[in-house]
Amino acid sequence: MKRVCIKYKKEGTLMNYIDLHVHSSCSDGSLSPEEVVELAKEAGLTYFALTDHDTVKGVGQAIKHAQKIGGIKVVAGAELSCYTKDREVHVLGLNINYEDKNLIHELANLETARNRRNEQMVQKFVDAGIPMTIEELKHGDSSSVITRAHFARLLVEKGFVKDKAEAFDKYIGIHCPFYLPKPKVTPEHVISLIKSAGGKAILAHPFSYKYSKSEVEQLIDRLIPEGLDGIECYYSTYDEGQISELRSIAFRKNLIVSGGSDFHGAIKPDISIGTGRGSLRVPEKLISAILA
């Protein structure tokens, strides 16, 4: 895996960077929370947020390891899935109390429903002559939260598709025969959950939902009264124009500007922690609003 230190001098000043969207093997990343901490430190980051899908299981491990090795700080987080009327969107909970009892209870309920859905999807594959088990999907990590990325990896390993893109196109995309929706919760409910756990609610990768710019603004306007704190303006796949557009929206609406790579390790080999596809730089100064 390519590892790049991204702390460098600009106009005589040492610039520090952060990454507030990172996944581990506790959901669909390939590295353990401890390995992610090591990689973030090696990359020269000062802060990173562990934001696994619908779980905070790895946060305590990451924080403990960061305290042990020093030189890197972990922001407790999670990336929570929810649904508008017509599509799935994600909200990042940043600087949350990952030991909050209500948060843990709600996430446990979501995990139970997700597990039921995964078992049903496995059965659909088995009935179609494509053998697989939950244990194979977990890939040796019993604590892993299974996502469609796990199904895609297994389909590649078993030789039914050549790559993960084909797995989504042919088998597990939203309109494909083996797809089943996750338990549907609203963005409003997810934001309330994040806020009750003391966190900042950040709309993740707003341009990734195939909304027009005006539709993105409509979604943001809908969620602001519900407690939305900010938007993810810096993201691995965004160009300077898109970043500028989202920053402009954030400033006009008095929202926090956040950013992150959506690092998954070997699951998304083109995305490096801290730098995304090479040009991502999330300034450290943004962390103050997240931690406030």
Task: List C-alpha distances in Å: 26 to 31, 68, 193, 217, 218.
Answer: 9, 20, 20, 32, 33
In angstroms, the first-to-last Cα distance of the chain is: 34
> Among 224, 228, 245, 239, which residue's Cα sits nearest to residue 280?
239
The CATH number of the domain where 99 resides is what?
A: 3.20.20.140
Contact 275, 36 (CB under 8 A): no
pLDDT score recorded for residue 2 = 45
pLDDT at 9 over 70: no
Share of the chain above pLDDT 90, in %: 84
Structure confidence by residue, pLDDT tens digits, 50-77: 999 999 999 999 999 999 999 999 999 9
Query: How much is the pTM?
Result: 0.88
Q: Would residue 247 count as lying in a domain?
A: yes
Lookup: tokens for 190? 């997810």
Distance of CA 8 to the CA centre of its chain: 26
Q: Would residue 48 count as lying in a domain?
A: yes
> Among 103, 90, 12, 3, which residue's Cα sits nearest to residue 51?
90
pLDDT at 113 over 80: yes
Q: Would residue 33 count as lying in a domain?
A: yes
Q: Would residue 269 count as lying in a domain?
A: yes
pLDDT score recorded for residue 1 = 46
Give the total number of structural domains in the chain.
1
pLDDT at 143 over 80: no
Return d(Cα 52, Cα 164) in angstroms, integer: 20
Contact 61, 36 (CB under 8 A): no
**Among the ranges 110-119, 143-152, 166-175, 191-200, which has the highest mean pLDDT value?**
191-200
Q: Would residue 40 count as lying in a domain?
A: yes
Return d(Cα 261, Cα 22) in angstroms, integer: 7
Q: Would residue 122 count as lying in a domain?
A: no
Lookup: tokens for 194? 């994040």
Mean residue pLDDT of the chain comes to 93
User: Where does the pLDDT of residue 14 fall: very low under 50, low under 70, confident under 90, or very high at 90 and above?
Assistant: low
User: Where does the pLDDT of residue 11 fall: very low under 50, low under 70, confident under 90, or very high at 90 and above?
Assistant: very low
pLDDT score recorded for residue 139 = 79
Q: Listing from the earlier edge strand, what are the strands of the sheet with 73-83?
A: 256-260, 230-235, 200-203, 88-94, 73-83, 47-50, 17-22, 282-283
Q: Would residue 274 count as lying in a domain?
A: yes
pLDDT score recorded for residue 173 = 92
Structure confidence by residue, pLDDT tens digits, 75-101: 999 999 999 988 899 999 999 999 999
Contact 282, 259 (CB under 8 A): yes
pLDDT at 44 over 60: yes
User: Does residue 86 sit in helix, strand or coil?
Assistant: coil
Residue in the structure block whose two tokens are 């496995």: 122
Domain that holds residue 17: 8-107+186-291
pLDDT score recorded for residue 10 = 43
Q: Would residue 149 count as lying in a domain?
A: no
pLDDT score recorded for residue 12 = 40
Task: List C-alpha distances in Å: 32 to 1, 107, 117, 195, 266.
Answer: 15, 20, 25, 27, 12
**Nearest 5°: phi and psi at 75?**
-95, 125
Residue in the structure block whose two tokens are 């306007």: 221
